[in-house]
Amino acid sequence: MVELVETPLRDLVSTGSTTGTPGAVEARRGRSPVVELAETAPGRVGPASGSGDGSPTSTGEVCSEPAYTDWHVHIVQSSSSWPVRMRAVVYDRYGPPNVLRVEDIPIPMPGANQVLVEVAATSVNLTDWEGLRGTPMYARIGGLRSPARRVLGSDIAGRVAAVGSGVTRLHLGDEVYGDNLGLMGGFAEYAVAPESALALKPKGLSFAQASTLPQAGSIAFQGTARVRRGQRVLINGAGGGAGSFATQLAVRAGAHVTCVDNAGKLDYLRTLGADEVVDFRRSDFTRLEPFDLVLDLVAHRSVLAYRRALTRGGRYLFVGGSVRTLLRVVTVGAALGLLTGRRLGLLIARQGPSHFVPVADRVLAGDLRIHIDRTFPLDEVAQALAYVGEGRALGKVVVTP
Ligand SMILES: NC(=O)c1ccc[n+]([C@@H]2O[C@H](COP(=O)([O-])OP(=O)(O)OC[C@H]3O[C@@H](n4cnc5c(N)ncnc54)[C@H](OP(=O)(O)O)[C@@H]3O)[C@@H](O)[C@H]2O)c1
């Protein structure tokens, strides 16, 4: 039976062990669970030798007599022992899916304004595949030679299992979902996330469904925000996570929508309401009619081609693709657009509940649908990432611990 309590940290570690409160936390050496708690910065609670951001540590040492002040952490207490270790899918170098392995690692502790989420589902985004491979180069931001985060997985859904200091909106046991792109960690049994990244999960959505929305839904919501009835919209890479939502949002806005993806996804895109579908291996969309909006999730063409694809006053938005294309879009593309009455630029998707909750509301209202292609267990994260990265997924793929 699981019971939820609030326990001052110093009670848990007051005697140099971590068993100060009966049954709250058990810590033993050897093969048994070990908890590592230490003061990392004023107002924060975190692992003794970790990065200070709540990410897992690797040493497995019990720290002696840390100098706790008044900070509190909410602990999920069980009748036996706090599960201080968890299964997680980790990697230490960029590479193919076989660099991933399942490991038993310490559960991360939430810092100030962070919560610990017991993960029920994590959806796969192309950003996970890019973070695994370390390509495009922007996937190495914060970790040029080796990954900054050992555990991938940003779109999490689960229950709040512990909260750090300063958390006011969320409580133990709350069902939440959100995009944890900054800290990642979703391909594990527990993940730490900032409170600000999470929203309460609506009862009408399963954890798996909720996990599909934060990143893909936010990109789609912001990418189609200005679409108006009668406009001609093209979505490149429409059959994936963000594209599936963007297609539906543009169709609902009354646009004439052309979807580009591989041949195997075109029937699926018609079911989402696409007016036209294009196999990117057979046709170059920049040589079709001009569009009022091109939303490009997999950009790799020249800015001249993109300019050609736009009506006068039309807009091209780079969402993802090669760094070379990105740099050209923000330099030459922006200038070319100004000179020719078009706009070429980046969509830098803002994160947080206000950008994906409206999408969830539309799903609950029956206006949009979530397509989960496949669900994989935690042991098969490598297969799940390959399934998305190699382009076999229709819509979203979800991992459940
Ligand atoms: N700008 C931001 O703020 C921001 C934030 C987060 C993520 N992102 C980016 O958003 C992008 C979309 O992510 P996602 O999770 O929706 O990706 P996804 O689910 O993998 O979807 C991408 C789709 O594009 C298709 N595709 C691949 N190559 C193509 C080509 N040459 N022409 C047309 N379609 C092609 C893929 O199918 P096949 O592979 O089968 O061909 C797949 O259906 C990623 O690039 C990610 O880096 C941007």
How far apart CA 89 and CA 100 sit, in angstroms, is 6
Asked whether residue 174 falls in the same domain as residue 250, the answer is: no
Which CATH number is 77's domain given?
Answer: 3.90.180.10
Asked whether residue 156 falls in the same domain as residue 223, the answer is: no
Asked whether residue 118 falls in the same domain as residue 232, the answer is: no
CA of 328 from ligand 1 middle (Å) equals: 19
With beta carbons less than 8 A apart as the criterion, state whether 188 and 151 touch. Answer: yes
* Residue range 217-256, pLDDT digits in tens: 999 999 999 999 999 999 999 999 999 999 999 999 999 9
Residue nearest to ligand 1 atom 40, measured at CA: 391
Tell which one of 219, 272, 283 to mutate to probe ligand 1, the residue whose CB is within 8 A of the most ligand atoms.
219
- Domain count within the chain: 2
DSSP 360-396: HHHHHTTSS---EEEEEEGGGHHHHHHHHHTT--SSE
219 within some domain: yes
Alpha carbon distances (Å) from 141 to 73, 134, 145, 348:
31, 9, 10, 15
Please identify, among 346, 365, 392, the residue that sits at the C-terminal boundary of a domain. 346
With beta carbons less than 8 A apart as the criterion, state whether 329 and 344 touch. Answer: yes
* Pairing relationship of beta strands 114-123 and 155-163 according to DSSP bridges: antiparallel
Q: Which two tokens stand for residue 3?
A: 């019971």
CA of 126 from ligand 1 middle (Å) equals: 6
Beta-bridged to residue 232, according to DSSP, are 256
pLDDT of residue 142: 87
386 within some domain: no
Q: Which ligand 1 atom minimizes the distance to the CA of 394?
A: 43
Residue nearest to ligand 1 atom 7, measured at CA: 127
146 within some domain: yes
CA of 187 from ligand 1 middle (Å) equals: 20
Asked whether residue 190 falls in the same domain as residue 219, the answer is: no
* Residue range 29-57, pLDDT digits in tens: 222 232 333 333 322 333 333 333 333 33
Please identify, among 324, 346, 368, the residue that sits at the C-terminal boundary of a domain. 346
What domain range includes position 342?
Answer: 215-346
Asked whether residue 181 falls in the same domain as residue 50, the answer is: yes
CA of 261 from ligand 1 middle (Å) equals: 10
With beta carbons less than 8 A apart as the criterion, state whether 219 and 139 touch. Answer: no
How far apart CA 176 and CA 183 sit, in angstroms, is 16
Alpha carbon distances (Å) from 386 to 126, 163, 376:
10, 34, 12
Cβ-proximal residues to 7 (8 Å cutoff; 6+ apart), any chain? 21, 24, 72, 73, 74, 75, 77
Handedness of CA 123, 127, 130, 132 (dihedral sign): negative
CA of 240 from ligand 1 middle (Å) equals: 6
Which CATH number is 276's domain given?
Answer: 3.40.50.720
267 within some domain: yes
pLDDT of residue 389: 87
Question: Does residue 319 have its Cβ closer than 6 Å to ligand 1?
Answer: yes
81 within some domain: yes
Question: Does residue 241 have its Cβ closer than 6 Å to ligand 1?
Answer: yes
Asked whether residue 201 falls in the same domain as residue 300, the answer is: no
The secondary structure of residue 227, as a DSSP letter, is -
327 within some domain: yes
Edge-first strand order for the sheet with 310-318 is 276-279, 256-261, 232-236, 291-296, 310-318, 343-346
Residues of the chain short of pLDDT 50, as ranges, are 1-80
* Pairing relationship of beta strands 276-279 and 256-261 according to DSSP bridges: parallel
Q: Which two tokens stand for residue 2?
A: 């699981």
With beta carbons less than 8 A apart as the criterion, state whether 75 and 7 touch. Answer: yes
374 within some domain: no
How far apart CA 61 and CA 43 sit, in angstroms, is 23
Question: Does residue 347 have its Cβ closer than 6 Å to ligand 1?
Answer: yes
Asked whether residue 96 falls in the same domain as residue 132, the answer is: yes
Asked whether residue 234 falls in the same domain as residue 289, the answer is: yes
208 within some domain: yes
The helix/strand/coil state of 232 is strand
Asked whether residue 12 falls in the same domain as residue 83, the answer is: yes
Asked whether residue 309 falls in the same domain as residue 189, the answer is: no
Residue nearest to ligand 1 atom 10, measured at CA: 320
With beta carbons less than 8 A apart as the criterion, state whether 241 and 268 touch. Answer: no
pTM of the model: 0.82
Please identify, among 179, 212, 245, the residue that sits at the C-terminal boundary of a domain. 212
DSSP 119-184: EEEEE--HHHHHHHHT-SGGGGTT-SSS-S-SB---EEEEEEEEE-TT--S--TT-EEEEE-TTT-
Asked whether residue 240 falls in the same domain as residue 276, the answer is: yes
Question: Does residue 297 have its Cβ closer than 6 Å to ligand 1?
Answer: yes
Say which amino acid occupies 5.
V
Asked whether residue 241 falls in the same domain as residue 206, the answer is: no
